[in-house]
Homo-oligomer: A and B are copies of this chain.
Amino acid sequence: MAGKNCKTTKSDRPTGDPAAFLQAAECLRALAHPVRLRMVQLLLDGRFTVGELAEDCQVPNNVASEHLRLMLRCGFFYTEREGRKVFYRVAEPHLAQLMACIEGRFLKKSPT
């Protein structure tokens, strides 16, 4: 009804575009899985095939393929076919920075 007595004018708050938050949340969901995090970490270091990633993550090949497909659709990676093999590579440049944040918080290297 009458004027809202909001203590804060809302314009001093940070950005609030709902669509952008939705998109950001979708990409975070694509990252929010231990196998997918590991795949991102590996791929930031080079290129790997489905089979190599599957072996490192200790999951069947089709499971690895499904995880990779999910991230492909978010634009994280692109693929290069070479013969029977398909190499995955990082396409989203911001992935490195984001992964660095995550590694800094959770995956600190042990100083042997």
Contacts and interface: CB of A to CB of B under 8 A. Distances in A.
A13 B47 CA distance: 12
A40 to B, nearest CB: 10
A83 interface: no
A63 to B, nearest CB: 15
A110 to B, nearest CB: 8
Contact of A28 (B16, B28, B42): B28
Interface string A1-37: 0001010001001111110111111111101111111
A56 B107 contact: no
**Interface of A: prevailing SS:** helix
Contact of A20 (B20, B36, B106): B106
A45 interface: yes
A21 B104 contact: no
A105 B21 CA distance: 11
Given A107-B15, A109-B15, A28 B94 contact: no
